[in-house]
Amino acid sequence: MSEIKAGTMTALTLRLQDELFAVEAESVREILDLVPITEVPNASPFVSGLINVRGRVVPLADLRVMFGMDRPEPDEDTRIVVMEVTIDGEPTVAGILADKVHDVTDIEAASIEEAPKVGMRWRPEFIRGIGKRNGGFIIIPNLGRIFETQGGRSPSSAASEERSAS
């Protein structure tokens, strides 16, 4: 998750609600149709599920949680993008829920701008940059940071266990 290098970034574009996102195509392993999701009780809503990817148990993340979006039920366009992400320095395979997957495209590095520090609905550290294409914006999320904040303790699990113990 280094800075975007000069030249172009080959990216997979996907849609979360009304926004277009781009992730580095290099770290994408595969794209799956929706598979049965096992809910993990007491996990944070961001990584509340587990899926079976070719015999491996892989956590499923919902980026919409981190960007404060609505989370409607999955429909026929919903896909799971299986990616390699680095969590606390360890490469981990994780699935990302996408409302729709578009295509693989090159984004000119020159067109990518830093996320503005103010005037944004989202936490700026979750965004590496914002690119432009066909007159629209593409958000490039900082997956490293997003997953890192979830790698530690999830406060909800401890709280709920305490509650049921009392």
Helix (H) or strand (E) holding 9: strand 8-16
Positions in 6-45 near another protein (CB under 8 A): 35-36, 38-43
By C-beta, is 50 or 109 nearer to another protein?
50
Strand residue runs (E) in the chain: 8-16, 19-24, 28-33, 38-39, 49-53, 56-61, 79-87, 90-98, 100-108, 127-133, 136-141
By C-beta, is 5 or 153 nearer to another protein?
153
- Judged by CB under 8 A, which stretch of 19-27, 64-72, 75-83, 145-153 contacts another protein? 145-153
By C-beta, is 57 or 120 nearer to another protein?
57
Helix (H) or strand (E) holding 23: strand 19-24
Interface pick for another protein out of 61, 98, 107, 139 (rule CB under 8 A): 61
**CB contact burial 22-35 (16+ within 10 A = b; e otherwise):** bbbeebbeebeeee
The footprint of another protein on this chain (CB under 8 A) covers a number of residues equal to 35
Residue 63 binds another protein, judged by CB under 8 A: no
Distance from C-alpha of 145 to C-alpha of 74, rounded to nearest angstrom: 26
Task: Catalog residues that contact another protein under the rule CB under 8 A.
Answer: 35-36, 38-43, 47, 50-52, 55-59, 61, 87-88, 90, 92-94, 147, 150-154, 157, 160-161, 164-165
